[in-house]
Every structure is written in C-alpha cells, then in structure tokens.
Amino acid sequence: MSLNMNPAMNRRSLVAGVAGLGAAGILAGCSGGGASSDGGSAAGSGSAIKIGSIGPKTGATASYGLSVTNGAELGCKEFSVDGLSFEYRSEDSTGNAETAVNAYNTLVDWGMQALVGPTLTGPSVSVAASCNDDRTFMITPSASSEDVTSGKDCVFQVCFTDPNQGKNAALFLADKYADEKIAVIYNSGDAYSSGIYNAFKEQASASKLQIVSEEAFKDDSASSFNNQLTKAQAAGATFIFAPIYYTPASVLLTNAHDMGYEVTLMGCDGMDGILGVENFDTSYAEGLLLMTPFSADDPASADFVKAYQDAYGETPDQFAADAYDGVHAVAEAIKKVGVTADTAREDACDKLAAAMLEITVEGLTGTLSWNDKGQVEKDPTAYVITDGKYVKA
Amino acid sequence: MKFLNDKVTRRDFLTYGLVVAAFIVVSLLASQGVIPRSLSGQLVPVTCYVVMAISLNLVVGVAGDLSLGHAGFMSVGAFSGVVCAMSLSAAIPDDGIRLAVSMVVGALFAAVAGFLIGIPVLRLRGDYLAIVTLAFGEIIKEVVNCLIVGTDAIGLHVIFNVAGDKTVDDLHLLEGGVAIIKGAQGASGTEKIATFAAGFVLVMIALAVVLNLVRSRAGRAIMAVRDNRIAAESVGLSITKYRLIAFVVSAALAGAAGALYGANFSQLSPAKFDFNTSILVLVFVVLGGLGNMRGSIIAAVLLTILPEALRGFSDYRMLVYAIVLILVMLFTNNPQLKLTLGKLLPKREGAVAHGE
C-alpha cells in the first residue's frame, strides 16, 4: 500500500466492498422456496371463512415452513364442504420474529379470521402476543414452547409442548431401555432443543436413567458431530438421545457411521422427515427411534398422504400433519359455534377459543383435545425406522 | 432566524424538519386508520433501524472506521433494556417512563461494551476494528445464549450458564418471580411497551447528538483524523481519543435503539442480532451515503419497508429486493445522473464539501 493514497478513500471503497459482499451473503441465504403464496380453495371468496398461515418459506428453516403451509392449505381444501368453505393464504416469515409479526399484520389486512401458524417457536411467541392483544384466534401446528400459549386464552397448540416431549421421552426410555447408557446431544442455541433437554434431564433423574454424557452444539457447528460422538463413545454410551431437528440429525448419523460407532439414536418430533433429507444415505437411519405423533406409513393416514403427494410431490411429515390437524380443529370449532364469513375476527376469536375446550378431534396425529392452557392432550407415540419405513415401536 | 443563514445549519434543520414532518404525517394518517396494519406494525422497528443507521454512520461515515458488529451493541441494549423494563415493572408502573429508563440503561450497557472494545482496538492503525467488531457481534450472541436471568421479590437473579447444564429452575425464583432471559430461548413473554412516539423521540435525540457532535470541535477533530491521520497527529490531536468518542457515542445510540426494539416484541432471540443484521445496517449507511445522515434515514426507512411492500411477489420478493438495491447503487453512482442533478440543484456544490 503506497503512502500517498488517500486513506479515507481507501477505507470508503473497502466499506462499500464489504457491504456489497455482505448483502450478497444475505441474499444467498434467502434462496429456496417453492409453493405459491396464495392458495385459493373455496368457491366464492365472499362466502368463505379466511384462514391464514405463517411459516418460513425461504431461508434455512424453509422446509419446516413449507410443510406447515402446504399442510394447512391442503386442510383448507379438504375441510371445505357445502355451507362451510375456507379461503386460505400463507405468508413468509423467513424464520424471524419481526418478519413473522409483519406477515401476521399483512394477513389481518387481508381479512383473516383465524390463524393456523406460525411454524417456529420464537416467531410464534411474538405473533401469539399480537393475537392476544388484537383478539385473533391462533392455533400453531408446531411451535412447542410453553411461552407460546401461557397467559393467552385464544392461542392453542397442535403439537406437544417441549417439556411434555422431554418428559414423555424420558418415561419411554425408562420403560423400554432402562439398562442403556445414554448420551444426550442437543442444540443449546435452539429453544426447541434446549426446552426438551431441560425437561428430559429432570425426568431422567427422577426415573434414574443412566446418563453418561451430555454434549451441546450450536447451529454454527452443526456441520460435524465428531467431537460430541467421540466423547459419547469414550463415555461408553450405547444410546444417544438427541432432541434436534432432522437436518443436523442426518449429519450426526453420517458422522457416527463414518466413525464406525454402533449406537441407537432417539429423537423427538423434529426428527420426522429425516428420510427425505437430500444426499443422506437413509440406511444410516435404520433403527432410529423417534417420538412423533405421525407416520406417513400408517394406513390410517393413507388418504392424507396420497392427497399431499398429488398436490406437492412430497411425502408429508409431522409438520404437515399437525397443520392439517390444526385446520381440522378450526373446522370442528367453527361447526360447533357457527362462525361464518361475516363474523368479525374478534368475535370469531372468542367463540372459537371457547369451543376449543369442548371439541375432540380425531386427527392424523391422534385423538386431540385441549386444556384451558391451550395445550393439546393426546397420547405420545414412538416410531422406529425399519426398512426405510416408520413402524410403531 | 439569522442562524439559518449558515449553509450547514440550514442542512441540519432541513433534516430535523423532514423527520418531524414524516412523524406528523404518519401519526395523522395512523389516527385516521388510513395506514394498513402491515405498515403500522413496522413503525417502531423502522425507527430502531433509523437510529441504528444514524449511529453506524457516525463510525463509518464520519470517523472513517469500519464496524461489522453493530448488531452486537443493539443486542446488548436490547437484552439489558428488556431486563430493566421487566424488573422495574412494579417500581415504575408508567410504561412511558419505564421505556425511557430501559433505553437509558440499554445505551449505558452498550456504551460500556463499546468503550471496552474501543480502548485496545482504536489504538491500532488499519482496519482491525472491523475484525474485532465482527467477532464481538458473534461473541455477544454466544454470551446471551449462556445468560439466564430472572426477577422476583428479592431482586435480580443471574446465572452465567457456561457449561450448558443449568436451567431456569436453578435461579430458585420465589413465588411470583418471572424468568426474563432463558438462555438460547432468549427473552420471551416480555411486555410490549414501545410506541412510535418513543421511536420518534429517539430518532430526534440520535440526530441531535450526532449532528451536533459532527459540527463541534470534537467532530472536526474526528473528521481530521479520518482524512489525514498524520496531519491530525502533527497538530496534537489524540487519534485514539477522538476515534473512541465517535465509537462510544455510536455504541450508546445503538444500545438505545436495541432497547426500543426489544420493547416492541414479546419475544427476543439472540440469533436475531447476527452478522446479517449488522450488514443490513451497513447497507443502509452505504446506500444513504457515508457521512450523510439524511440519506441514512431515508435508506433505512425505504429498505426496511421494501421487503414487506414486495410481499406481492411472494417467494421472489428478496430477488426483487436485490435488483432494487443494485439499481439504486448504479443510479446513485452514475456520473451523468450526478451531473444532471448538480445542474438542477445549484446549491449542491456547498453540500459536497461536507461529505457526500
């Protein structure tokens, strides 16, 4: 660098260059997506009840959001009958709380009467607070934190809460695998994973499970699990409980296979979808246990699976099934209290919230009813992957 | 109105006037219910980003240093502000005063963080500040991930959960206590006390602080250090001191903006304040013009609203957003366009002398 160059000019061009590179990075992260935003379903828009959904349709978590918005869209089509038709619209949240609230406001502008969403926990807590303030009925298919529903009488969940899942998982292990030495690997930077982990740990010590190793990771380091696996192996673990999403889980299984580490992995509902991960050898997932409410291989959900495959060309996962059940619950509640397309959003909210406590839904993810906290009550189910299929454990 | 004869003062007051006018127009429209919710819901975040852009412009445009971790200061301000607002909810029942106090606390914490980082780094030549602030942004994210904070009748309980084996139960809160920050889950269930009026006041304060600093003796020294370090040193200016003044003021403003942002959402996760957010603010500054506060404000407003306004394009909206960014950059740097503009606005010559 020559001395007579103007330092200010130098620095300015550097600043501009860095900003440009960074902006390119942001945009690169925002690729992806697929299904269209507006999915009409009902005959006339004037007489249809407007259902909205929110999920990340772009960005790193897009696959979950697309499942939810597709499942909700299919639900709106299937549960539209004469005299009760639905109009559906979904908005992108990019997995971010601020954008999710913007998406919610856009849907309210559109005239939404009930919300089946959002998908992820963080955005859902923010949107749930707005729903409670504005009196909008909300049922989230997949946001599992207790904070989503706590203190809000018009917010409901289709999925189990995180503490509930962690507790159920520990009870399941105590029942079936009490002698195994268990290692726990969880994402300490993620609300879902750390929420399950905390409850699991509590119940595990109450049930006297042998936990030999506890290892945390963060999203930034989810590209390799060799470190955690080596520690688990050194501690003599024969079983790994990993309450993580399926994308990192596929990496974990691949790493374990490459290390030659024979171990049984168990996950929660976020693990559902692992057989659909691109470039992942699904034979590594043989024997994988997961606590999930839904299986696409279950004969009872065959109609839904076929309809979903015809519409979107993919096998539905539990996110889609939960969203479908969410629409189902809204449809049942509407039938009970007689909400119509002309009912104001605020009135619909109070009526639906009251109805939710009384209805029972025979859904894809079990027999669902709701308590006055807005939490779902259904039986936990566990599946094991055998020959590339989910089989009830 | 004699003071308006000065060109610089006139420019500054035009900026203030624009902000006040925008606030009055938007408030009037909002009270008439003309503004759709998708826009009115964004008013507070927009004011936060405007303050972020103004504060970063002080470092990047005026002091000529590069900060790549400005979202880190926003994060410090946001979480300290949230903790402050939540723990004072009994002591200060009035939302407005509590918000003001939490913004001051957020600004203080961020200023301290800025001071600690600035002391070693600003003594160095070259672009070390960029590297260190980049790391700072990431470190803050991890630090907040380790924080568990709750409040009850006794006071604040804080655990620094480095090993990752502690939970909210380890705070041993009394009955009626609430957990404020739950590690990686961030802060959730916080009260939404931010208002557009508070955002407007913060923007005005930020503008007044930055514009007055720039026009002051210290501000001229800061620009002298930026333009020619050796010459500035030769007349006895302390390089580190003036760079530090700009950096700490900027960090404090970013902290206040963060506190306002945190008070506008009932959930706040540390991952929100990542590198992408820092770069987003840097894009506002670069697009608005280095050293040009009015430009930063306009860029921050437009670029925050743009992705939402483009929802009609559904999944292609970020693509359209990128194209708009590129077009704006091309047009604002087009020499012919600048020449034409210069002919249309003969007073521009005076303006050019004071930064772009």
pLDDT at A338 (0 to 100)? 87
What would the mean pLDDT of A111-130 be, rounded to a whole number? 92
Which of A13-27, B56-70, B275-289 is least confident? A13-27
Residue A79 burial (C-beta neighbours within 10 Å; 0-12, 13-18, 19+): buried
Mean pLDDT score of chain A: 85
In a domain, A324, yes or no: yes
Q: A316-350: per-residue pLDDT in tens?
A: 988 999 999 999 999 999 999 988 888 999 999 99
State residue A16's pLDDT score: 59
CA atoms within 13 A on the CB side of B159: 20
Closest Cα of chain A to B69: distance in Å? 12
CATH, residue A93: 3.40.50.2300
Pair (A278, A366) in one structural domain: no
CA distances from A322 to A70, A92, A292, A293, B96 (A): 11, 18, 11, 9, 41
b/e burial code for range A355-384 (CB count within 10 A of at least 16 → b): bbeebebebbbbebebeebbbbebebbbbb
Pairwise CA distance, residues B326 & A220, whole Å: 29
Return the residue in B266, B283, B317 with the most chain A beta carbons within 10 A, the one to mutate for interface testing: B266
What distance in Å separates the CA atoms of residue B211 and residue B213, rounded to the nearest whole number?
5
Whether residues B188 and A133 touch (CB distance < 8 A) is answered with no
Q: Is A106 on the interface with B (CB under 8 A)?
A: yes
What confidence score (pLDDT) does residue A19 get? 58
Question: For residue A33, what pLDDT band results from cuts at 50, 70 and 90?
Answer: very low
Secondary structure (3-state) at A234: helix
Closest to A312 (Cα-Cα) out of A131, A139, A57, A106: A57
Candidates A16, A34, A129; nearest CB to B266: A129
Query: pLDDT tens across B193-247, in order?
Result: 999 999 999 999 999 999 999 999 999 999 999 999 999 999 999 999 999 999 9
Name residue A186's beta-bridge partners.
Answer: A216
| Residue A378 · residue A366 · CB < 8 Å | yes
pTM of the entire predicted model: 0.85
Band (pLDDT 50/70/90 cuts) for residue B118 is very high
* pLDDT tier, B145 (very low <50, low <70, confident <90, very high otherwise): confident
DSSP H helices, B37-94, are: 37-40, 43-57, 70-87
Dihedral (CA of A186, A192, A198, A199) sign: negative
Contacts A–B by Cβ distance under 8 A: 164
Task: Give the DSSP per-residue string, A116-148.
Answer: E---SHHHHHHHHHHHHHHT-EEEESS---HHH
Contacting residues of A for B189, CB less than 8 Å apart: 125, 129, 147, 150-151
Which residue out of B34, B35, B38, B129 would a mutagenesis test of the A interface target, given it has the greatest number of A Cβ atoms within 10 Å? Answer: B38
Quote the strand ranges of chain A, DSSP E. 38-39, 49-55, 86-92, 114-116, 137-140, 155-157, 181-187, 210-217, 239-241, 264-267, 289-291, 361-363, 366-370, 376-377, 382-386, 389-392
Task: Calculate mean pLDDT across residues A353-364.
Answer: 93
pLDDT at residue number A379: 86
Residue B352 confidence (pLDDT): 44
In this prediction, residue B253 carries a pLDDT of 98
Determine the pLDDT at residue A68: 94
| Least confident residue range of A26-30, A86-90, A152-156, A211-215 | A26-30
- In angstroms, the CA A17 to CA B75 distance is 25
Q: Is residue A384 part of a domain?
A: no
- Rounded to whole angstroms, how far apart are CA atoms A64 and B349? 54
Asked whether B105 and B156 are in contact (CB, 8 A), the reply is no
* Mean pLDDT within B101-108: 97
Q: Out of A22, A108, A150, name the one closest to residue B279 (CB).
A: A22
Nearest to A92 among B130, B164, B315 (CB): B315
| Contacts B278 to A, Cβ<8 Å | 22
CATH topology of domain B2-352: ABC transporter involved in vitamin B12 uptake, BtuC (1.10.3470)
| Structural domain total, chain A | 2
- Segment (H or E) for A294: none
Interval B95-123 mean pLDDT: 96
- Same structural domain, A62 and A128: yes
Chain B residue with the nearest C-alpha to that of A96 = B272
**Interchain pair B279, A26: CB under 8 A:** yes
> How far is the C-alpha of B131 from the C-alpha of B140, rounded, in Å?
14
Residue A198 sits at the chain B interface (C-beta within 8 Å): yes
- Cβ neighbour number for residue B293 with a 10 Å cutoff: 27
Question: Does residue A260 share a domain with residue A349?
Answer: no
Q: Is A33 part of any domain?
A: no
Best A36, A120, A125 member to test B by mutation, with max B CBs in 10 Å, is A125
Query: Which tens digit of pLDDT belongs to each residue from A222-249?
Result: 889 999 999 999 999 999 999 998 889 9
Testing the interface with A: which of B128, B142, B269, B290 to mutate, by most A Cβ within 10 A?
Answer: B269
Pair (A233, A324) in one structural domain: no
Q: Among all residues of chain A, which has the CA nearest to that of B44?
A: A98
Contact B250, B59 (CB under 8 A): yes
Q: Which of B229, B279, B321 sits opposite A19 (nearest CB)?
A: B279
| Same domain membership, residue A270 and residue A203 | yes
Do the chains contact at A201 and B167, CB–CB below 8 Å? yes
Q: In percent, how much of chain B has pLDDT > 70?
A: 96
- pLDDT (0 to 100) of residue B215: 93
* CA angle at B83 for the pair B80 and B85, rounded to the nearest 5°: 105
- The phi and psi torsions of B90 (rounded to 5 degrees) equal -85, -40
Q: Whole domain around residue A346: which residue ranges?
A: 38-160+301-377
Look at strands A239-241 and A264-267 and give their pairing: parallel
Going by pLDDT thresholds of 50, 70 and 90, the confidence category of residue B119 is: very high
* Domain closes at, from A264, A292, A320: A292
Amino acid at B199: G
* A13 inside 8 A of chain B by CB: no
Of A267, A292, A317, the domain-final residue: A292
Reply yes or no on whether the pLDDT at A10 is more than 70.
Answer: no
Residue A173 has pLDDT above 50, yes or no: yes
Closest-approach residue (CA) in chain A for B288: A16
Tens of pLDDT, residue by residue over A277-322, are: 888 888 898 999 988 888 888 888 899 999 999 999 988 988 999 9
Residue A319 CA to residue A143 CA, distance in Å, equals 10
pLDDT of residue B154: 85
pLDDT value of position A13? 59
Q: What is the pLDDT of residues B161-180, one digit of tens each?
A: 777 667 777 888 888 788 89
Chain B nearest CA to A141, separation (Å) = 18
Whether residue A382 lies inside any domain: the answer is no
In a domain, residue A338? The reply is yes
More reliable by pLDDT, B238 or B189: B238
The residue ranking higher by pLDDT, B341 or B56, is B56
Asked if the Cβ–Cβ distance from B282 to A18 is below 8 Å, we say yes
Out of B38, B315, B319, closest to residue A102 by CB: B38
Q: Are residues A224 and A284 in the same domain?
A: yes
pLDDT score for A198: 86
Instruction: Say yes or no to pLDDT of A2 above 80.
Output: no
Residue B239 pLDDT: 93
**Cβ–Cβ of B68/A18 closer than 8 Å?**
yes
Of A6, A102, A215, which to mutate for an interface test with B (greatest number of B Cβ within 10 Å)? Answer: A102
Q: Does A188 touch chain B (CB under 8 A)?
A: yes
Count how many residues are written for chain B: 356
Residues 116-135 of A with CB under 8 A from B: 121-123, 125-126, 128-130, 133
Q: What percent of chain A has pLDDT over 70?
A: 88
**So what's the pLDDT on residue A14?**
58
pLDDT value for B121: 93
- Shared domain for A343 and A259, answered yes or no, is no
Question: Which of A273, A292, A311 represents a domain boundary (last residue)?
Answer: A292
> B269 and A122: CB-CB below 8 Å?
yes
- Structure confidence at residue A20 (pLDDT): 57
User: If you average pLDDT over residues B128-154, what whole number do you get?
Assistant: 91
CA distance B270 to chain A (A): 9
Residue of A240, A211, A210, A245 whose CA lies nearest to A228:
A240
**Domain range annotation of chain B:** 2-352
Q: Assess A218–B contact: CB distance below 8 Å, yes or no.
A: yes
Is some CB atom of chain B closer than 8 A to the CB atom of A358? Answer: no
Name the minimum distance, in Å, from the CA of A273 to any CA of chain B.
Answer: 23
pLDDT of A150 over the 80 cut = yes
Question: Please, are residues A283 and A27 in contact by the beta-carbon 8 Å criterion?
Answer: no
Q: Which residues of B touch A99 (CB under 8 A)?
A: 307
ipTM, 2 decimals? Answer: 0.88
Structure tokens at B203: 């923007």
Q: Touching check for A194 and chain B: CB below 8 Å?
A: yes
Same-domain check for residues A247 and A364: no
Per-residue pLDDT for B314 more than 50? Answer: yes
Whether residue A97 and residue B272 make contact (CB cut-off 8 A), yes or no, is yes
Neighbours of A227 (CB within 10 A): 12
Is A201 in the same domain as A350? no
